[in-house]
Structure 1
Amino acid sequence: MLLAQLLDRAGTGVWAAACVLYFTFVIGLDAGQVGLLLGASGVAGIAGSPLAGHLADRFPVRSLLIGAHLLRLGTLCLMLVVTDFALLLLVVAVTHLGDRGAKTLEMLFATRVAGDRRATYQALSRSSANAGYALGAGLAAIGLAVGTRGAYQVLILADALSFLVVAALVWRTKEARGHGLVVPPAGPADATGPAAAAAPAGRGPWRDRGYLRFVLLDIPMHLDDSILGIGIPLWLVGRTEAPHELIPAFLVVNTVLVVLLQLQVSARVETARQAAGAVALYGVATFACCALLAGAGAGGVWGASAALLAAAVLATAAELVRSVSSWELAVRLAPKEARASYLGVAGMAQSVQKSAGPLLLTGVVMAAGPAGWLALGTAVAGLSLVQRRSSLRRLDRLERLERTPPVPAAFG
C-alpha cells in the first residue's frame, strides 16, 4: 500500500504542477474559466469522502479503491480529447470526486489492516506521500520546461498511467476479512449494549452532533496546508522584501522534515488522549507561524527570509502533528460498528479546507495585513483548545459506555 500511495501521489504531483498551464496554454481557457474549473472540482471533492464512506459500509473497500483509481484513469484520458468547457467542467469535477474518495478509501483500508498501529502506518504514509509529491513535481518540471502541447499531454498520460499501476498494486494487496470497517453484532444483546448507545441504529454520523462538532472543528486544524502552499508564498511576493527564489525552498523544507520526522512524531501520539493533547500543540505551532508572518514584512531582505523560512518550519510542525492526531481522533471518536461512514464524513474536513482555506487567506487574512495573520493564529489556537476539550469529553463518554454492562435482551 505504501508503494501504491507513493505512485499515486507522484501522479497527483505531476497533475498539480501542470494542470493550470495545461488548461491555459493547451485548452485555451482564460483565468476566470480556470478559476471556475478548479473551484468546481474542489466543491465536488467535498462529496467524495462521505460518498466513499457510505459505500464502504456496503461493499469491499479494496474493490471500491480500485474502482476509484480506474475512474480517475478514465477521466484523465478524457481530458486529452475534451475541449468543450462545459464537458471539461464535468470531467474535472468527477476526477476530483474520485481523488478525494480514493484518499478516504486508502485510509479506511489502512485503518482496518493496521489496527492499533494506525499511527505508525500514518507516519509511513505521510512520508511516502511527500516523497511522491516531490517526485511528481520534479517530473512535471521537465515537461513544463519543454512547454509543448505534446509535453503537457505526456504529463497527463503519466498521471493516468500511475493510477493504472496503483490499481494493480491494490488488487494484489491481500484484503483483511470483512467488507468494510463494520463490526457485525454478535447477538441480540449487542443491540442494546454500549456500542449501540454510542451510535443508535439508523442514526449515522449526520445525526451525531458530537462527531459533527469534531469534524467542524477539524476544518481549521487543516489550515497549515493552505498557509504553506498559498499564504507564505503570496505574503513573500506581496508584503516582504525576500527574494522570489526562496519560494521553492518552502516545499523542500516541508518535504525533508516530513520524511525525517513523521515517524518520530507518530511514536509520541499512540493513544486517543495523546492525539487530543496534540491538537493543542497544533494551535501553538500555527499561532507562532502566523506571528512570524505578521512581522516578516518589517525585517528587510535577510530578516524577512529568515522569518518566512521559520514560518515554513512551524507550518510543517503543525502538519506533522495534525497528520497523526486528526485521523486517530476521527477513528477513536467513531463507533466501531459504523466507522466507514463516520470516517467518510471526517474526511470532509480536509476537502472543505482545500476549498475555503485559500479564499480565507487571500480574501480576509492577507487583505487585513499583519493583523489578519495574528487574528488567524489566535483563532486557530483557541479552536484547538475547544477541539481538545470536546474530544476528551467524547472519549470519556465512550469509555463509560464501554464499561457499562449490556442490558440483557428481553424475550417474549
Structure 2
Amino acid sequence: MPRLMPDPGPRRVIAASNFVYTVGSGLYLTAGVLYFTEAVHLPAALVGLGLGIAGVVSLAVGIGVGHLADRYGARGVYAITLVVQALATAGFVLADSFWSFVLAVGTATGAKAAGLAARSPLIRHYGGNRPQEFRAHLRAVTNVGISLGALLAGWAVQVGTLPAYRLLVIGNAVAFAASAAILTHLPPVAPVPAVGGPRWIALRDRPYLLLTALDGIMAVQFKVLTVAIPLWLVTATTAPRWLISGTMLVNTLLVVAFQMRASRGIVSPAAGGAAYRRAGVAFLVSCSLISLSAGIPAWAAAALLTTAMVIHTIGELWHSAAGFEVSFALAPRHATGQYLGVFGLGAGLAEALGPALLISLCIGWGRPGWYVVGALFAVTGLATPLAVGWAQRRQQPLPKGSRPRAARKGAASGAVPGSATR
C-alpha cells in the first residue's frame, strides 16, 4: 500500500480519499444484500427488484452532476455527493419496508454514480499530462480498499446478528463521510469556462455515445467474476467451493499488481482501441475454458477455472486501461464531468442488465451460452477500434476562437489539452 500512494500533494489526497471510500464500499459489496435479507428481513426477490430500480434511476444522475462539476467546481460537488451517500447509507438502519429501502438505496446509488462523474475533472486537473494513468493508479488503490472492507465485513457475516449488521452499515457511512472530510485538504479546482454551442454536448456526440455503448457491452465482463463463475462452479462443476473466493483473490491481486503497468503502453485513443480488441479475445478464450470445466474431475475443473480467471483478468486490465484512455482523451476539457458521466452510462447498464444476461446464457443455457458470451465480447472488441477512429475524425468542433486549433489536434492524438499540472 505505501508503494501505491503517490507523493505528498493533491494526488495523495485524492488517493487517500479514494482508499477510505473503497474500504466502505468493500463492506457493502460483501454484505449489503445480506443486511437487507437477514437483518431487515426483506425477501430476496424484493431486494433484487429494489436494487434494479435504484440502478436504473441512477443512470441519468451522473450526466447532470458531472455538468455541475464542470461549471461550479469539481471538489465541492464531489464532496457533496460523498456526504449524500454517507447520509443515505446511514439511512439503511431506518429502512423497515420495501419503499423505505428503495428510497435509501436509490439515493445512495445515485450519489455514487454522481460522485464518479464529479471526480473526473479532479483526476484530469491533477493527473498531469496522463490523467488516464492516474485513473489506473486509483483503480489499484480501489482493489486494496475493497479487499480490506470485505475482510472486515466477514466478521459481521460470521456473527450474523442485527447489531453486527448495523455496525457494518454505520461503518460504511462513516467511511464515506471520512472520504469527504479528506477532500478538504485538496486545493479547489476552478471551473473551466464554458464555450459556445449546445449545453449538453456529450449527448450530441454520436461517436462518443457509440463508444459508451460498446464499453457497456464489454463491462458485462465484470459480472462474470461475481455472478456467472460462482453459480457455474456450484451448479455445473465438481470444483471445490472455496475456489470462488480463490478466483476473487487471484483477480484482486493481479489488478493491484499490474493495472498501472497495463496502462503505461496505452497512450492514445488508437492504442486504446487496440487494447479493447485484445481484451475481447482474452474474454473469448477465458469463457471457452470456463465452459470446458463442466463434467470433468474436480482437480481438472479447478485448474481450468483458475487458468480462465488469470486470462480473464488480463483482459480486464486491458479493458479498464482502454476505457480510461478513450473516455478522457476524447472528452473536451471544459466538459470532462459531463462526458465521463455519459461514459458511465455503459457501465451502469452493464450493472443493471449484466447479471440477468449471464445467468440466462451461461447458467440457463449451459456450455453453449459461454461461447455466445465470449463471442459477444470478441465482436465488441473488434468493433471498438472502428468506433474510436470515427470519434477521432468527428470530434465535436468548438466555436471559432474558443480553443486553439493545436489543442484540438492534440486531443485527437491522445494528448489532453491543458491538463498539465498548474
Equivalent residue in structure 1 for 2:148, among 109, 128, 135? 135
Which residue of structure 1 lines up, in the alignment, with residue 213 of structure 2? Answer: 216
- Residue identity in the other structure for 2:60: A
TM-score, normalisation: structure 1: 0.90
- Residue identity in the other structure for 2:352: S
Q: 1:52 to 1:202 in 2, by over 3 A?
A: closer
Which residue of structure 2 lines up, in the alignment, with residue 277 of structure 1? Answer: 274
Which residue of structure 1 lines up, in the alignment, with residue 183 of structure 2? Answer: 170
Deviations 1:35-70 (A, max 9, x none): 112222222232232232222232211111110111
Which residue of structure 2 lines up, in the alignment, with residue 78 of structure 1? Answer: 91
Partner Cα separation in structure 2 for residue 173 and residue 159 of structure 1? 22
Partner Cα separation in structure 1 for residue 167 and residue 124 of structure 2? 35
Deviations 1:227-278 (A, max 9, x none): 1111111111111111111110011101110111112111111222211211
Matched, 1:33 2:78: no
Equivalent residue in structure 1 for 2:232, among 232, 235, 252? 235
Deviates more, 1:261-270 or 1:333-342: 333-342
What are the ranges of 5 or more consecutive residues in structure 2 without an aligned counterpart?
Answer: 1-13, 399-404, 410-422
State the superposition RMSD in angstroms. Answer: 2.1
Q: 1:360 to 1:92 in 2, by over 3 A?
A: same
Equivalent residue in structure 2 for 1:116, among 120, 129, 136? 129
What are the ranges of 5 or more consecutive residues in structure 1 without an aligned counterpart?
Answer: 186-190, 192-199, 407-412
Which residue of structure 2 lines up, in the alignment, with residue 50 of structure 1? Answer: 63
Which residue of structure 2 lines up, in the alignment, with residue 312 of structure 1? Answer: 309
Deviations 1:335-387 (A, max 9, x none): 33323212111111111101111010012333221111111111211111111
Deviates more, 1:201-210 or 1:397-406: 397-406
Partner Cα separation in structure 1 for residue 64 and residue 200 of structure 2? 17
Report if the CA contact (8 A) 1:50-1:344 is conserved: yes
- Residue identity in the other structure for 2:362: V
Partner Cα separation in structure 2 for residue 56 and residue 42 of structure 1? 22
Matched, 1:380 2:350: no
- Residue identity in the other structure for 1:329: V
Equivalent residue in structure 1 for 2:320, among 310, 323, 327? 323
Matched, 1:158 2:155: no
Map 1:351-370 → 2, pairs under 5 A: 351-370=348-367
Partner Cα separation in structure 2 for residue 256 and residue 311 of structure 1? 15
Report if the CA contact (8 A) 2:205-2:396 is conserved: no
Q: 1:37 to 1:399 in 2, by over 3 A?
A: closer
Regions of 4+ moved over 6 Å: 403-406
**Between the two proteins, what is the percent identity of the paired residues?**
30
Which residue of structure 2 lines up, in the alignment, with residue 257 of structure 1? Answer: 254
Partner Cα separation in structure 2 for residue 400 and residue 334 of structure 1? 12
Partner Cα separation in structure 1 for residue 270 and residue 201 of structure 2? 24
Deviates more, 1:109-118 or 1:283-292: 109-118
